[in-house]
Structure 1
Amino acid sequence: MTSWRAIPVGVLLLCGGAAGAVPLEEGESGAERARRALASQASVDVSTAAPEGVAPGLFSRPWAVCSDRAERLRDIRPGPSGSGPQELARAGAAVVFSADDGVSGRELWATSDAGRQTARVKDVRSGAAGSQPRNLTRVGDKVFFVADDGVHGAELWRTDGTAEGTALVRDVRRGPVGAAPEFLTEVDGALYFTADDGVAGRELWRSDGTEKGTERVQAFLPGAGALSLGPLTAWGGGVALVSSSVAETVLWWVDARGRPRQVFSRQGAGVIFGLTAAGRHLFFLLDPGTERAELWVAHQGRLTAERVWTFPGDYPAHLTALDDALYFLAGASDWYGNPGDAIHGGELWRSDGSPEGTGLVMDLRPGPEGSMPKDLVALDGELYFTADDGVHGRELWRSNGTAQGTLLVRDLEPGPVGSSPLALTAESGWLFFSAETAGHGREVWYSAGRPWVTSRLLDIAPGTASSNPAGFVRAGFNIFFSASDGARDLEVYAVPFRPWWLCFAKDC
């Protein structure tokens, strides 16, 4: 099944010679028009533009899967081992990733020209050890990553998917040890990260991709003293982070000019974690040393924090923002058997940042066991997640934040086992994921949130074998992901994914 079949029949007239967002020129093929549309995205946003003369309301999901076939781009490491692609990230019209060809070690690779060219970008570290690129983080049309070239140690690098556009950003800590950048985070076109320059200890840094524009933002603990800086979270045009020392744990917000503000401080014992930005709110969890998690919220403008709720049992998990609200799993028992919600068990909760606006969304599985929702993803104003209601097994669900609006998307594997969807990824109005069904194993699925537009894309590994797809990312007119064909282990695959009116050109 191809996803364009779900589009209303009355609008299927727009392929070939019909007027569109990118009209077909004389003598031009559909494929050439597709490539020209891709090149002109700076002036025509094909992700949202509808053809002239057609009601925009028909285009709530203008992108479509144009084929039920996926193409393995290149057998990077021939044989059963596979190259094990990891951390696929978009760099302009290319997709970059780390892979091990069995000769050069794990290095940075890229696929470009709509998947026609797949090659190692640069042998950053010669020899079998490889540079071990990791933490690939997209900022604009570039991707930042951490790599060790064997001379500078683990430092910050950047790439645009080409060899000449791949370079060390700055040698923050001179010598073979390296600054070991962590928590790479994009904030309004700039990259923030933590690094240890060997003099000031681990502190907050920012980079625009140039050596001169890579500098320390703030010294939270002057000198080389030990200080733990937690994960970074983009919020309110700045970045939020947690500093922890023996004496104090502090939640900070640093504005675009690098000026830090204390939002919350805890003396002595205490752990702050789970920072999640949701519109005007910044939610976080605090264990004050009682082994009970407290949900707190900070608000833009005031930069003060308020306690919202206290949860017995296991900590809330899978914190996910949808507009100004936070959704999460809560109520489960912890590893030590301490009970959470003895009536409902682990279920989906929602908070708008106030005690009265915090509570259970729906008891999907009545009783203390709970449906244990996870893999939460926001898409087009709704929340998607997997849960086990005790009848259908673990399947895909969606919710608008109300009990009445919380529904099973589709029972992909009828019965109490379920299809156990994984790797949920929202892209251009569609949800891509893997699911396991009888007779097909674990394969690629996609959904627009309703049962009639939820389908297995293709069976890459024949029969009951599983391709185990993961890492879905769009670049140009394709969805890229890693998968196995059953005979060879993980390599990169692509499937056409285009504005739907380009799907009907035969050579498109």
Structure 2
Amino acid sequence: MRNLGNHRGLLLGLAATLAVVGGCSSATPAGPENGPSATASAALGFAAPGLVRDLYTTPSANTGSAPSGLVAVGNTVFFVAQESSSGRELWKSDGTPAGTQLVRDIRPGVQDSAPSQLTVVGGFVYFSADDGSSGRELWRTDGTAAGTVLVKDLYPGVSPSFPSNLMDFNGVLYFSAMDASHGTELWRTDGTAAGTLLVKDIVAGNFSSSPADLTVAGGRLFFTAETATTGRELWKSDGTAAGTVLVKDLAPGSSNGFVKSLTRMGSRVFFVGFEPSARLSLWTSDGTAEGTRLVYDPTPGDPYDGATVESPTVMGGTLYFVSMGKYADSHIGYELWASDGNSVWLVKDIQPGAGSGWPKQLVATGGLLYFVASDGTTGSELLEERRHGGGHAADPRHLGGLEQLRPPVPDRRGRRALLHRG
């Protein structure tokens, strides 16, 4: 989750929908009262959850306030929620009932301004919202009603500019949006109307390059964009029109590179892209054409296989991802793989053979990678992968830190351990 810093406990409490446990920090001896020896995950060790404030109290149609989009600025969490008198609007909380307040009813009354894309830049929260008269435009807040303002009505009147893909790059907000003269292109803002500017009209006129997947790596802003002559490919920008350029045309000419899933690791960006001989594969780039190279092709030599790479997730200096491939001359279904940017290895064949464990929802925290997968016998369960020091092992069997999440067992002090070994 972006922009959360060290506020995980507060954010989870605000959502009030996630089951969290207070865990042990070390193994607890086995005994009749606590069953198998247990090791709690420090990454998920929070105090017992508690309701901060019940925002939606109408009994006849109480579907909850449905908090979403949580981001932190200092000790304050901003989020989007609904209640009966103001619709879905921007709220903030310091973790107490009294400190959980509506920031501003942007679209007065029961209708929603429906803020989205909450992104922190320079102590302000930027977001997209619709006040009912300006269409969906870019807003920002300092946490006060008076300081919650429309940055600029890019598409004047009720027509929306649809700002999206918000990203902080060197203290400036970059985003994609459209106006009356241009299609959806790359913009930047310093938070003022005068300082909200088009970076580059990549596809001239009312046509769109539709920048997406904005990602900062190595002092560059990477993104994907689509033109009639190159298809959707990898681009970069330094914030100027002259410095906003195509990095490399993976699928030469008008063929589509289908570049997506940009992920930063170190000073490089990793992504999924299409190249005629490798189909959808894992690539990496340092921002130059020469430094943009193939990392992993799921089925080398077969350009028509339809395989792909999914869920790239970084933990430490390792990129984990889900794909199919071959290991020890055997076909492997969609399983968990890893790469340091140069070599690639299979972490574990969770559902052995050509079957797929289909790891999903990869989340890295506290030196652990959590994900959902199926071994073919127990159904979809929560697993973890522990990071091993000293680099990866050549033999994937050495990466044996996969544990299944089982029902929590009380320890002798009445607390519950989340992850344990039988």
Q: TM-score, normalised by structure 1?
A: 0.64
Residue 421 of structure 1 and its aligned partner are, at CA, apart by 1.0
Is 1:254 matched with 2:189?
yes
Is 1:416 matched with 2:354?
yes
In 2: Cα distance, 1:125 partner to 1:115 partner: 26
Q: Is contact 1:374–1:387 with CA below 8 Å preserved after alignment?
A: yes
Match of 1:116 in 2: 48
Residue 197 of structure 1 and its aligned partner are, at CA, apart by 2.2
CA gap of 1:348–1:92, structure 2 versus 1, over 3 A, is same
CA gap of 1:460–1:421, structure 2 versus 1, over 3 A, is farther
In 1: Cα distance, 2:84 partner to 2:206 partner: 41
In 1: Cα distance, 2:11 partner to 2:258 partner: 40
CA gap of 1:244–1:95, structure 2 versus 1, over 3 A, is same
Match of 1:176 in 2: 110
Q: Is contact 1:376–1:383 with CA below 8 Å preserved after alignment?
A: yes
Instruction: Summarize the alignment of residues 15-54 of structure 1 with structure 2, pairs less than 5 Å apart.
Output: none
2:312 to 357, 373, 376: 376
In 1: Cα distance, 2:405 partner to 2:129 partner: 43
Match of 1:130 in 2: 63
Residue correspondences, number: 361
CA gap of 1:282–1:211, structure 2 versus 1, over 3 A, is same
Q: Is contact 2:11–2:70 with CA below 8 Å preserved after alignment?
A: no
In 1: Cα distance, 2:350 partner to 2:67 partner: 34
CA gap of 1:401–1:324, structure 2 versus 1, over 3 A, is same
Is 1:430 matched with 2:368?
yes
Is 1:325 matched with 2:268?
yes
In 1: Cα distance, 2:131 partner to 2:21 partner: 35
Residue 417 of structure 1 and its aligned partner are, at CA, apart by 1.0
Residue 94 of structure 1 and its aligned partner are, at CA, apart by 5.0
Q: Is contact 1:422–1:434 with CA below 8 Å preserved after alignment?
A: yes
Match of 1:398 in 2: 338
In 2: Cα distance, 1:92 partner to 1:133 partner: 16
**Unmatched 5+ stretches in structure 1:** 1-44, 48-88, 100-108, 332-340, 462-477, 479-492, 498-508
User: Whose relative contact order is higher, 1 or 2, with alpha carbons under 8 Å and at least 6 apart?
Assistant: 1
Match of 1:287 in 2: 226
Residue 370 of structure 1 and its aligned partner are, at CA, apart by 6.0
Is 1:216 matched with 2:159?
no
SS at match of 1:169: strand
Is 1:440 matched with 2:378?
yes
Is 1:454 matched with 2:372?
no
1:495 to 414, 418, 422: 418
Q: What's the CA shift string for 1:72-92, capped at 9, x where partnerless?
A: xxxxxxxxxxxxxxxxx8353
1:203 to 123, 133, 137: 137
Q: What's the CA shift string for 1:376-414, capped at 9, x where partnerless?
A: 111212211111005221111111211xx2111222222
SS at match of 2:155: coil
Match of 1:185 in 2: 119
**Match for 2:308: what amino acid?**
M
Q: What's the CA shift string for 1:77-117, capped at 9, x where partnerless?
A: xxxxxxxxxxxx83538533265xxxxxxxxx896984434
Instruction: Summarize the alignment of residues 53-92 of structure 1 with structure 2, pairs less than 5 Å apart.
Output: 90-92=8-10
Q: What's the CA shift string for 1:51-75, capped at 9, x where partnerless?
A: xxxxxxxxxxxxxxxxxxxxxxxxx
SS at match of 1:175: coil
In 2: Cα distance, 1:448 partner to 1:241 partner: 35
**Unmatched 5+ stretches in structure 2:** 23-45, 389-397, 409-414
In 1: Cα distance, 2:362 partner to 2:143 partner: 30
**Match for 2:311: what amino acid?**
D
Q: Is contact 2:13–2:52 with CA below 8 Å preserved after alignment?
A: no
**Match for 1:439: what amino acid?**
T
**Match for 1:148: what amino acid?**
Q
1:277 to 212, 215, 224: 215
Q: Is contact 1:90–1:96 with CA below 8 Å preserved after alignment?
A: no
Residue 183 of structure 1 and its aligned partner are, at CA, apart by 1.3
Q: Is contact 2:373–2:383 with CA below 8 Å preserved after alignment?
A: yes
Instruction: Summarize the alignment of residues 231-242 of structure 1 with structure 2, pairs less than 5 Å apart.
Output: 231-242=165-176
Match of 2:259 in 1: 316
Residue 305 of structure 1 and its aligned partner are, at CA, apart by 0.3
**Match for 2:232: what amino acid?**
A
Residue 436 of structure 1 and its aligned partner are, at CA, apart by 0.8
Residue 223 of structure 1 and its aligned partner are, at CA, apart by 4.0
In 1: Cα distance, 2:242 partner to 2:386 partner: 38
CA gap of 1:152–1:494, structure 2 versus 1, over 3 A, is farther
**Match for 2:197: what amino acid?**
R
In 2: Cα distance, 1:370 partner to 1:329 partner: 13
Q: Is contact 2:299–2:325 with CA below 8 Å preserved after alignment?
A: yes
**Match for 2:13: what amino acid?**
V
SS at match of 1:92: helix
Q: Is contact 2:14–2:51 with CA below 8 Å preserved after alignment?
A: no
SS at match of 1:268: coil
Residue 326 of structure 1 and its aligned partner are, at CA, apart by 1.7
Q: Is contact 1:207–1:214 with CA below 8 Å preserved after alignment?
A: yes
Q: Is contact 1:151–1:176 with CA below 8 Å preserved after alignment?
A: yes
1:162 to 79, 87, 96: 96
What's the RMSD between the two structures over aligned residues?
3.2
